[in-house]
Each structure stands twice: as C-alpha cells, then as structure tokens.
Structure 1
Amino acid sequence: MTIRKSIGKRLPWWGWGLLAGMLVLLVGGVIVWKWTRTGGGAAANLLTFTVERGPLTISVAESGTIRAREQVIIKSEVEGQTTIIYLIEEGKLVKEGELLVELDASTLQDNRIDQLIQVQNAEAALIGAEETLAVAKSQAESDIAKAKLDYRFAQEDVTQYQEGEYKNQLMEARSNITLAKEELERATEKYKWSETLFAEKYISQTELEADRLTKNRAELNHELAVANLNLLENFTYKRTLDQLQSDVEQARMALDRVNRKAQADIKQAEADLKAKQMEYDQQKGKLDKIDQQIEKTKIRAPIDGMVIYATSAKGNWRGNQEPLDEGQVVREREELIYLPTADAMMAEIKVHESNLDKVRLGLPATVTVDAVPGRTFRGEVASIAPLPDAQSMFLNPDLKVYTTLIHLEGNERGLRTGMSCRAEILVEHFTDVVYVPMHCVLRIDNQPHVHIYKNGQVDARPVKIGLNNNRMVQIVSGLEAGEQVLHGPPLAAAAAPSAATPPGGDAGEGRSRPPRGAASAGGRGGGP
C-alpha cells in the first residue's frame, strides 16, 4: 500500500480540503515574499487594463416570467377552506360557462339543512307575531270603544240625575209633604170632632183613641216628609252628584288608561313583529348565503380562453407551494386559474433597487424566452412598481426589488403565461466614451478612484464616473484612452520605496497604499 493511499484512507474529505488550503497559503506566501523582495520592479507583473474609448451600451438585464397583459383571475369565493374535487386540465381551451373547478360542498349542504330549520322556525315565529299584532289591534279597538262608552254613560248619568232623577225626587218629596199635610189637617179635624162626640157620649173611648192615633200618625208622616225633602236637598243631591261626577272622572281616566295600554300593547306587538321579521330576514339571509356558497363551489369560465393554473403562472416563490390539483385544500380568495383575454403578452421582471434609477417608462427592451430559442422579442417598459416586491422582502428583508412590466410588441401566439424569460432594458448607448471595468474603480474617502500604472509606479487618481452596465463603467473625466489601470488595489508592499522613488520622497507619493475602507465604485451607475 502506498503512502498516498494510506493517507487517503485515514483523512476524511474535509481533511483533504484543509490540506489543500494549507498548500495554497504556503505557495501564496512564497510568491508574495519573492514579489516583495524584487521591490518596485515587480509592479510590471501587476494585472492591468488598458483604458479604451469606443461605443458603450448601458442596459439592465433581469430574468422574469411571461404573462398575458389582460387576463381574468379565477379565485375561490367559498368562505374558509375547501377541497378541490374536480379540476380541469391545464392548457385546455374552454368556452364560456364551462366547468373549471368544483369544490367540496358536503359541509355546506349539511349547513343548509340546519339553516333551513332555523328559517322555518323564524317564519313560524314571524307569523305568530303578525297574528299577535292583529289581535292586539282588535283588542285595543274593543277596549277603547268600551271605555269611551263608559265615559259617555257616566257623563249622561250626571245629566240624567240633574235634569231628571233629582227633579223627580224633589217633586215627589214635596208632594209627599203636601199629602202628609192634608192628611194631618183632616186627621186633626176628625180628632177634634171625635172629642166633641165623645163628650156627648156618641162614640166610645176606643174610637176616640183611634182617631188620636190617626192624627199622631199624620203628624209623624208630615214631619218625615219635611225631613226627607231637607235630606234630599242638603245631602242626597250633593252626594249623588259628587259620586256621579267622580264616576265621570274615573271613566275618563279609565279611557286614558285603556288608550295608553292599547298603544303599548300595539307597540309591543309591533316591536316583537319587527324583531321576528329581522330574525327571519337574518336566518333567510344566512340560507341565501349558503345557497350562494354552494353555487360558488362550481366555478365556471366567464369567458373563452386557455386554462392556466395560478400556481404555474406565479411560480413557487415560497418553495413549499404545491401545484394545483384535485384533493388540494384552497382558501377563500386564493387565485386558482388565469384565463388570458388577449394574445398581447408582457414580461414581468424584478429590478434591483441599485438599478432602479436607470429604468424609466418607455425605455426599449429586448426579451428572450427559454422556450423559444433563437428569437428575440421587442418591447418597452410599461410600468414600474412604486414599492418593493413584498414576496421578495418576505424571503430576504435586505433584498429590495421592484416589479417592472415590459409590454411586448405584436401578438405572439407562441408565448404562454408562465414561460421563463430574460429581459434587457436599453438605458443608454454611447458611441464614443472612455470606459473601464467596474472593479477597477474604488471609493477612497467616498470619491471614485482608479489606480494608474505608469513607468513602474502606481498612482491613485480620482475620476468622475457615469453609467454602468454591471460590467463596464463610463469614465466622464480623469482618464484617457491608452492609460493602464489596475484591476484592484495594490498590495501594501507594492507601495514600498524603490529606486524609482526620489530621495526624501514620500513612499505614498506617486503610488497608493490600500485605502482604509476602500470599496467598489457605487453611486449612480456604479452599483453592481
């Protein structure tokens, strides 16, 4: 067994990686040591780029998805969550009214039976309330009529007593006095005559006593008649009149009570009827809603078109979204199917925030589609989202991209919603500008710089940059064509004093040390 095989058996895969890393560090250290030992002469081996002048195209390229410009979005309108029991196949051309999706309605059917019972109970209660109101109104009319009659009779009793009964009683009392007085006079005369006859022995003592008793009785009757008249005028009349007038007031108050009670009973019956009506309407509304929900379990095509599943069109952005299929549970307002309404298509891309200032409405763009190789579709920027894409921020809060729509020219029947594409937006085209690779530009003290290599020396020179296309950046001023620039910052050793440095000169004069905090060129046109 060889040493290599023995080591290979003992070392795991990560051990080989560690060994390789140590070898790289060892070789790199030797190279750096030799480079520093050679002094400034090693600068000739630095990787440089010759500044060029010529045409430069500034564009923003992003991947995206083909979508229809106009489409009808079919959503689940059933409340809660339901299961798909039928789903039309994707890509099929359908006619208006054709069944696309059928959702499970068994729970809704059971709810409908329960709700129908509630509606019937509410309807029975409503009918009972209507009858109760009718009875209350009829009873109120009857009670009010009776109370009004009692009140009128009480008033008539007062008039009847004052105009009739009292006068009759007064006349009767006075006539009784007159009759009693006449009887008393007649009895008195007879008694006097009887005394004369008794004195002459014509009548007996018994007959005389009988006439005396008759006279006494007549006197008593006369006194009683006078007393009755006095009682009638001074007591009975006033008391009876007060009682009758009190009966009138009681009858009036009873009428008022009956009126109030009747109104209260009617109001109560009306309120109960209104409550029963509202309860019935509520239960009926719930039943109608369940019927509508049952009807919405069968989703039909509102227009003619080709079926595209929403999961296919939107893509699996969360990484766990299952393709639309029978048996899948869907929620209310979840997008299920797209039906394009026209052949006009568009490309939807996500523009990074660093390139957002380059993109504007109306810029031309070219789009290539993976499913249609060899063809390029032209279009222009039609819309730019004002806010970052929420889905992308959900996955990565630090990533902010803006949804941008590019309308494609013409009606391309070969394109389908959901196809992958790559769009390149033409921002600017310069015919004659100076440019260098983006990584050649560094920021020193927040100002763009490049490192110039000239005559064996490295100088850090400030420049003014323009737009970039993520590869090359425009140099507005500070460089000339043909100059040599470093692809990156020089090592610290490269800036050490050499024979080319004047005596007493600064080691940093004419060359540059790696700036603290140096970064890639940024700002407008300087982003990645």
Structure 2
Amino acid sequence: MLKNKIVIITAVAVTIALVIVLVLTAVGFKSSNTDAQKAPTFVVKRGPLTVNVVESGTIKAREQIIIKNEVEGKTSIIYLIPEGTRVKKGDLLVELDASALIDSRLDQEIKVQNAEASYVNAKESLAVAENQAKSDMDLAQLTLEFARQDLKKYTKGEYPNELKKTQADITLAEEELTRVRDTLKWSQTLYKEKYISQTELQADQLSEKKKALDLDLAKNNYALLVNYTHQRNLAQRKSDVSQAQMALERTQRKARADVIQAKAELKARQAEYQRQKDKLEKFQEQIGKTKIYAPADGLVIYATSAQGGLFRHNSEPLQEGQDIRERQELIYLPTGNSSNAEIAIHESNLKKVTVGLPVFVTVDALPGRKFTGRITHIAPLPDAQSLWMNPDLKVYTTQIFLDQKDNAVRTGMSCQAEIVIEKHADTLYVPVQAVLRIEGVPKVYVMNKTQFEPRTVETGLDNNRMIRVIKGIEPGDRVLLTPPLKAAGVDYLSKTKQPDVSAAIPAKTTSKKRNRPVKQQDGQ
C-alpha cells in the first residue's frame, strides 16, 4: 500500500511540473510575439522613387564686368552709386578718397626737383673722382708697407719672446714641483711620527697637486703656442701682406675706372631724373583712377551682395566711408540676362553628383516659378572659407547653368537647387534607417511569422530618406525600422542618428540649410 501511494504522489508531482513548464513556455512565447508585433516596421513597396540632392545657394550672373579698385594701397570710398541702379556707359560709379594721393603728388614734385639737382651735381663729381683716386692709391701703398713691417716684427721679435717665456714657465714649474714634492715627503715622515696633523699633511698634498697642474698648464701653453697660436699669427701676418698687395692692385684698377664711373654716374643721375618724372605721371594717373566710371550699360550689384550666402567673404556691406584694398572687387555689372546658380555640395553627397546632371532651381524672390539647368562644374577641393569657419564641415562649390534667361533673376538672390540623380518609375524602396551594414554587407530584418530575421539585400542610391533595394526582398515584406545595433561592425547607411518611425514616410521635407518646405518627390 505504501509503495502504491508513493508512485501515485510522484506521478501527480511530475504532471503538475509539466503543466507549469508548458504554461510558462506559452506565456513567454506570447510575450515574444507581442514584442515583435509592437516593433515599428515598414511594408516594402514598389513604386516611383526619385533620388535627389537639395541644396541652397545664390544666383550669379554668367556674363558680367567686374569693377575693381585699381588704386594702389588702401583707400576709402567717399561716393558710391546706390545698388540696383541701371547705369549708362560713362556714369560715375565710385569715387575714392584722393587726398593722400594729392599729397604724394606734391612730395613727388619735390623729388623731381631734387633728382634734377643731382643730375647737375654729377657733372661736377668727375673732377672730384680723379683726386679721390690718387688719394686712395697713396693710402693703399702705405697699408702694404705697414703689413710688411708687422710680419717682420712678429717673426723677429714677438714670437721669439713668447717662446722663451713659455719655456721659462715650464722650467720654473718643474723646479716648484720638485720642491713641493720634497716638502711632501718630509711631511709624510713627520706625520708618521705624529709631529704634524693630518690637515697639514693634506695641505702639502694639495700643494703638490697644484704644482703638478701648473707644470701641465705650462707645457700645454708651450704646445699651444708652437702648434697653434704661432701658426695662426704667422698666417694672419702673411695674409695681411697679401691682402694689402691685392688692395693696392684694386685701388690702382679703381683709379683707372673712376673717370669712366663718373661718366656712368652722370648717366645714372640722368636716368633717375627721368624715373622721378615718370613716378609723378603715375601719381597723376592714380588720382584719375579714384573716379570709376561705368564701362558699359548695366545693373549695379555690389560685390559684397553677390558674395552672399552661408560663407560670405566680407560680412560688411559695401558703403561710403568703408576702407578698401587694391584689386578688391567693388561692383558687378551684368551685361546680359543669363545666370548661374552656385551651391555647396556636402561631402556625403559628393559621390552621387556628377557634371551634367539635371537640376531644378527655385528662386526665393520668385515664388511659384521653377527653372531648369545642369551642373557644369564641381570644385575639386573643399571650400576654404567653410573649412575655416568649421573644420568638420566640408562642402564643394558647384556651378549650375540655368537654361532660362529672365531679367527677374538677379545676381545675389537666394535659391534652392534640386539635383535629380536617378528617377525610377517602378522600384522597391525602404527607409534608410531599415538598412544597416554588418561587416560591410547591407542587411534588413524581415518579419518571418513571429520573428525578425536578417536578410542580405543589394541596394542602390538613397535620397537621405528612402533607399532603393535592387534585390533581396519582395513587395509586402515587413522590415524592422529599428534593427539591433549590437552586431559587430554595424553602421546605418545614412550615418546619422536613428529617426523616429513617423519620419519613415513623411509628407514633406525641408532644406538642410534654409528650413524651407520642399515639394514631395516620388518615393519620398
């Protein structure tokens, strides 16, 4: 009976445990399914997709005359024609301060008079040059005699005396060293007998070392004199004689050339006189350039206005009283009604954009109108001004040729350009945040029954919101908008922060620079 009860109790316990396990499994499975169903997803679609890049920029005149300051140095504006004025050829555009130039012209007139006086003085210098030549030759001859005497004095007197002195120093040092060593030997004997202290013994030892050093120094002085000092002094004295001989020869040659030189100086003074007169004429010409007239008919546009945009080179508008430098651009005078658009392409979009791509341009001042064009030039290097303002921002200046000619489109107007890179009438696309790279391979997470599984896809270009999928998924597939980021080497293709789910299929987008609504494109 007892065994039967134990068997029954065991069976009941096992049954209860199995039921609990099944219940927990069902609950966990249901929870997993619930989490998967709550995850934000996107249903893969097939439809039109436009891959484009939208950037803000500035309108530039294609054909224009650039009015520059041709006055040298720095000057200021005292009159400036109002911007937007339509001028005729010959109208006064700018008048610059000429007061400094007028003062310089007066100074130059004085220089011309001085140059004329120098020219006259050069005629009288010829006779002086002949007398000076004779004086120079006498002095050179005397210098040579002194150099020869110095050489003889050194070899016959100074060097033998110095040699004897160093030899005597060695002899005296040897005798002093012998005497000190005898004293030291006697002191050592007295020290052993305790007649003198250790301090007295050390003093004698120090004296012996000093005399030994004195002897070495005397020997070194002797060697230095014989091997180096004597050789140098002898060479110096001989060189002085040689230099004096060559100086005498140069002086003699110069004496013969002085008359010719005096004549050449006369010609030089005459040329200087002419040069100063030419400079006076240049000052007069510079004064004339302080008034700038229109070389042709056109519309006045200040250079500072035409250089507007995100990276204006001169934030201060052109105005009266402003200081300007030489060769500075002042006014743009468009001579036609053809225009270009200049934009800055971010480096992340550079690989998408090529010369020749079509562009749609809208001008802020002309709402409701759209112009067509094409890319004609992309700068090979980043814009230097943008790098100076923000080293982490690299943009490339891009020129767009506008097809339409319209007088309403003016230089300096703000515009927005939409570069059409690819246009697909029927293709698969998903939000860019749904695609990530795992070890360099693009993947998406596709709903498979109750779980998401990674699937390799082949992708095309994106428009920063939607990315084209060439193969790997089918219409109707549900892809995860928040794929896991713990896999090794995972990076969003957009390389930006993960956007909200609501941004996956927005109705409108905005320009990256100007915060203006942009017309919705296909697949955007």
TM-score bracket, normalised by the shorter chain, equals 0.5 to 0.7
> Deviations for 1:413-457, whole angstroms, at most 9, x for unmatched residues?
111101111111111211222111111111222222212123121
Q: 1: distance between equivalents of 2:104 and 2:255?
A: 42
Q: Which of 84, 98, 104 is 2:91 aligned to?
A: 98
Q: Which runs of 5+ in 2 are unaligned?
A: 1-27, 131-252, 496-511, 513-524
Q: 1:266 to 1:306 in 2, by over 3 A?
A: same
The one-letter amino acid paired with 1:95 is K
Alignment of 1:435 with 2:407, yes or no, is no
> Deviations for 1:363-403, whole angstroms, at most 9, x for unmatched residues?
21111111111111111111111221111111112211111
Q: 2: distance between equivalents of 1:350 and 1:275?
A: 57
Q: 2: distance between equivalents of 1:261 and 1:441?
A: 89
Post-superposition shift, 1:131? 7.6
Counterpart residue number, 1:503: none
Q: 1:309 to 1:36 in 2, by over 3 A?
A: farther
The one-letter amino acid paired with 2:491 is A
Counterpart residue number, 1:142: none
The one-letter amino acid paired with 1:357 is K
Counterpart residue number, 1:463: 457
Contact 1:442 1:448 in 2 (8 A): yes
Contact 1:67 1:417 in 2 (8 A): yes
Alignment map for 1:186-335 (pairs within 5 Å): 264=257, 266-315=259-308, 317=311, 321-335=315-329
Q: Which stretch shows the higher mean deviation, 321-330 or 453-462?
A: 453-462
Alignment of 1:347 with 2:341, yes or no, is yes
Q: 2: distance between equivalents of 1:350 and 1:460?
A: 38
Q: 1: distance between equivalents of 2:54 and 2:274?
A: 59
Q: 1: distance between equivalents of 2:442 and 2:270?
A: 79
Counterpart residue number, 2:396: 402
Contact 1:66 1:347 in 2 (8 A): yes
Counterpart residue number, 2:224: none
Contact 1:313 1:418 in 2 (8 A): yes
TM-score under structure 2 normalisation?
0.61
Alignment of 1:515 with 2:487, yes or no, is yes
Q: 1:458 to 1:298 in 2, by over 3 A?
A: same
Q: Which runs of 5+ in 1 are unaligned?
A: 1-34, 140-259, 491-512
Q: 1:294 to 1:43 in 2, by over 3 A?
A: same
Alignment map for 1:445-456 (pairs within 5 Å): 445-456=439-450
Counterpart residue number, 2:420: 426
For the aligned residue pairs, the C-alpha RMSD in angstroms reads: 2.9
Post-superposition shift, 1:40? 3.6
The one-letter amino acid paired with 2:364 is D
The structure number with the bigger radius of gyration is 1
Identity percentage over the alignment? 57
Contact 1:36 1:42 in 2 (8 A): no
Counterpart residue number, 2:473: 479
Alignment of 1:417 with 2:411, yes or no, is yes
> Deviations for 1:110-158, whole angstroms, at most 9, x for unmatched residues?
111112101111023224436877x99xx9xxxxxxxxxxxxxxxxxxx
Contact 1:58 1:429 in 2 (8 A): yes
Q: 1: distance between equivalents of 2:436 and 2:345?
A: 24
Q: 2: distance between equivalents of 1:117 and 1:378?
A: 63
Q: 2: distance between equivalents of 1:460 and 1:407?
A: 45
Counterpart residue number, 2:36: 43
Q: 2: distance between equivalents of 1:42 and 1:96?
A: 77
Counterpart residue number, 1:388: 382
Q: Secondary structure at the match of 2:82?
A: coil
Post-superposition shift, 1:357? 2.0
The count of aligned residue pairs is: 347
Q: 1: distance between equivalents of 2:345 and 2:326?
A: 31
Q: Secondary structure at the match of 2:418?
A: strand
The one-letter amino acid paired with 2:69 is S
Q: Secondary structure at the match of 1:405?
A: strand
Post-superposition shift, 1:107? 1.2
Q: Secondary structure at the match of 2:336?
A: coil
Q: 1:467 to 1:115 in 2, by over 3 A?
A: same
Contact 1:367 1:422 in 2 (8 A): yes
Q: 1: distance between equivalents of 2:351 and 2:66?
A: 32
